[in-house]
Amino acid sequence: MSRRSRRFFKQIQKADAKYRLQEIASQIQADLDKRAISYDEALNLGNIIQHRADQLPGDTIVYAISDRDAYRKTLELYLRDALLTRTEQLLLWEERRRLGISDDEHQRLLDLLVLQMNKQGKSVSIQKYEKAGAKNV
């Protein structure tokens, strides 16, 4: 880890609000754009930021270069039409598996995005799976 990355790491550990984490994430993005840190370092720091954000209160989303942010973008894309189909859910499951996103992280992120869409006046529908072995009568 470079000196610059260690400095960001210390700032992340000391952050006491999600707003501060968002500021740090923006600084990391700026340093990545200037090529002052590598993409791998930015990704690692972004994952640390997301983990730290989970520990802080509030229902805001912290946008940082991270596996979770990549997943969030995919989830937002599928929610754009305010309908999450079974097929999309299967594709999301595969993406979660690839990125190492837990079901709890997925549900928390989905809840936050649906809440944001509801605040914008959009109603989101999520198709449900039928239980295996259930018979249609």
pLDDT single digits (tens) 54-88: 999 988 889 999 999 999 999 999 999 999 999 99
pLDDT single digits (tens) 98-108: 999 999 999 99
Q: Which residues contact 67 (CB under 8 A, 6 or more apart)?
A: 43, 46, 47, 50, 99, 100, 101
User: What average pLDDT score do residues 24-35 get?
Assistant: 96
Q: What is the pLDDT of residue 137?
A: 47
pLDDT single digits (tens) 69-78: 999 999 999 9
Q: What is the pLDDT of residue 102?
A: 92
Chain centroid to Cα 86, Å, comes to 21
